[in-house]
Chains A and B, each alone.
Chain A
């Protein structure tokens, strides 16, 4: 686990960027985008400032680079899984081709968005999906592969959700992040059901995935209300009905063992 390195990497790519509107325009590198931004002179420079705690472009880029790191991880994981002979049964291959297609698309979408904001996308880390030997058969044993797929998808859902508030000042980026977030949830549901789990998370049940992935999912308090006191459905159903967030630190602690450098 090289958490410190991940942090530094993310930080470096932030501090490098002294983003001005002019830089952003010059880095957009695409005539259509340049023309559009030039015609809306305040869109990028002000990032449609609307919240009391408006995020700077630097903050937004840092969040996107964090998301990009997770998408690199997922994209590589499915590419390697699909390439491993005999790992994924023929009947499930269509599902994983679809998931893989999306994760690769997310990498491209995030890289493009970071660049268009004047940032520099972090480079792809080197991954070790055995997590230093914890999952030695990840690409030879389908059950292990599925367990990690569920862990990565459910972590992804929680990670994007946890960052939504940090994107609230940029309408376009927030919307795109939400649009990725729900795709990760569709993936999570499908992978969970292939494993004969429910598509949704009951309490903080791990289904064999690392416990930190589900830490805090057994929550009944929403918006200051104890949902048990305002509805008749079961406690299990309440926990299923609300997915919970993870902080960046919590996510990096989960992903860290799979990232070599």
Chain B
């Protein structure tokens, strides 16, 4: 739960209210970040991903956020692999180049998160996707879905950044989110060339110049449209 307070001078302070999580509890009790880091490796609570029925829970703490990113990257990679394995009719060479580049970036992100999580915990399994709502033969269907995925990814990383306690993981998220934003702008420009849409007022607030941010609890219901596997974030905000 957060609320934005906008003053007359363009001030932008988002006051975040959240229940005291395990992480904040550790902070309040003065336990150092080193202990938290150890906790990621040694504490069951942080590393476990609990299967719920046919579903997957992302876990908690930094590992939970990494699994969250891994889930989104899995979704994006699967989408672009499908796009390029059955290109829509009339796909231009320029579009093919852009979409296959993006496919490769998302695969790199997906594989990176799997390896990075594996270094400290057990990553969530491969997710089963459901792309039945997408017409892969149709340019508009594909590009509008791509736009939705990229904008969703940008908002997800922007909104998850402050839940990350490790500066290393925060920087990694930063290295990836800007690439997602580059994708979003390129896809938007394919749909509406040389317009304002690459950073349109629908995603970038016209007054503050700030991009969209969403919490996991706002992102997952959108992602769920494209997933057969039920993904929950019971221990994330």
Residues of B within 8 A of A99 (CB): 199
Interface residue range, chain B: 35 or more
A109 within 8 A of B: yes
B199 A190 Cβ-Cβ under 8 A? yes
The complex places the Cα of A223 from the Cα of B168 at a distance, in Å, of 7
In this complex, what residue of A is CB-closest to B9? A112
When each residue 53-71 of chain B gets 1 if its CB lies under 8 Å from chain A and 0 otherwise, what string results? Answer: 0000000000000000000
Known: A108-B9, A111-B9, A233-B107. 11 other contacts (CB 8 A): A52-B32, A102-B199, A113-B11, A164-B171, A172-B13, A176-B210, A183-B210, A185-B178, A200-B179, A231-B108, A237-B108
The complex places the Cα of A36 from the Cα of B12 at a distance, in Å, of 12
B161 A164 Cβ-Cβ under 8 A? yes
- CB within 8 Å of A: which B152-201 residues: 154, 157-159, 161-162, 164-165, 167-172, 174-186, 189, 194-196, 198-200
Residues of A within 8 A of B32 (CB): 52
In this complex, what residue of A is CB-closest to B174? A161
A227 B112 Cβ-Cβ under 8 A? yes
- Measured CB to CB, the closest approach of chain B to A59, in angstroms, equals 14
Residues of A within 8 A of B199 (CB): 98-99, 102, 183, 186-187, 190
- Measured CB to CB, the closest approach of chain B to A78, in angstroms, equals 12
Residues of B within 8 A of A116 (CB): 7, 11, 13
Residues of B within 8 A of A188 (CB): 182
B7 A182 Cβ-Cβ under 8 A? no
Choose among A50, A111, A231 the residue that contacts B24 (Cβ–Cβ < 8 A): A50
- CB within 8 Å of B: which A191-230 residues: 193-194, 198-200, 222-225, 227, 230
Residues of A within 8 A of B198 (CB): 95, 98, 186-187, 189-190
A157 within 8 A of B: yes
When each residue 28-45 of chain A gets 1 if its CB lies under 8 Å from chain B and 0 otherwise, what string results? Answer: 111011001000100100
Known contacts A36-B5, A113-B11, A176-B12; is-contact A103 B177 (Cβ 8 Å): no
Which 3 A-B residue pairings sit nearest by Cβ, starting from the closest?
A: A105-B209, A112-B11, A52-B33
The complex places the Cα of A186 from the Cα of B184 at a distance, in Å, of 7
B196 A94 Cβ-Cβ under 8 A? yes
Secondary structure at the B interface, as helix, strand, loop or mixed, is: helix
B182 A185 Cβ-Cβ under 8 A? yes
Choose among A49, A115, A174, A198 the residue that contacts B162 (Cβ–Cβ < 8 A): A174
- Measured CB to CB, the closest approach of chain A to B82, in angstroms, equals 16
A165 within 8 A of B: yes
Interface residue range, chain A: 35 or more
A182 B112 Cβ-Cβ under 8 A? no
The complex places the Cα of A174 from the Cα of B5 at a distance, in Å, of 16
- Measured CB to CB, the closest approach of chain A to B187, in angstroms, equals 9
Residues of A within 8 A of B90 (CB): none
- Measured CB to CB, the closest approach of chain B to A113, in angstroms, equals 6
- 13 A/B residue pairs, CB under 8 Å, sorted by A: A98-B198, A161-B174, A176-B14, A178-B157, A182-B180, A188-B182, A189-B186, A199-B98, A199-B182, A199-B183, A199-B186, A200-B182, A227-B108
The complex places the Cα of A43 from the Cα of B5 at a distance, in Å, of 14
A231 B182 Cβ-Cβ under 8 A? no
The complex places the Cα of A233 from the Cα of B108 at a distance, in Å, of 7
The complex places the Cα of A50 from the Cα of B105 at a distance, in Å, of 32
Residues of B within 8 A of A223 (CB): 112, 116, 119, 168-169, 172
Choose among B105, B178, B182 the residue that contacts A237 (Cβ–Cβ < 8 A): B105
B206 within 8 A of A: yes
- Measured CB to CB, the closest approach of chain A to B123, in angstroms, equals 12
A108 B10 Cβ-Cβ under 8 A? yes
A101 B178 Cβ-Cβ under 8 A? no
Residues of B within 8 A of A103 (CB): 209
A242 B176 Cβ-Cβ under 8 A? yes
Residues of B within 8 A of A168 (CB): 162, 164-165, 167, 170
B137 within 8 A of A: no
A222 B172 Cβ-Cβ under 8 A? yes
B10 A111 Cβ-Cβ under 8 A? yes
The complex places the Cα of A230 from the Cα of B119 at a distance, in Å, of 12
Known contacts A49-B27, A181-B174, A198-B101; is-contact A33 B165 (Cβ 8 Å): no
Q: Identify which of B11, B32, B105, B212 gathers the most chain A CB atoms within 10 Å of its CB.
A: B11
The complex places the Cα of A161 from the Cα of B175 at a distance, in Å, of 7
B181 A185 Cβ-Cβ under 8 A? yes
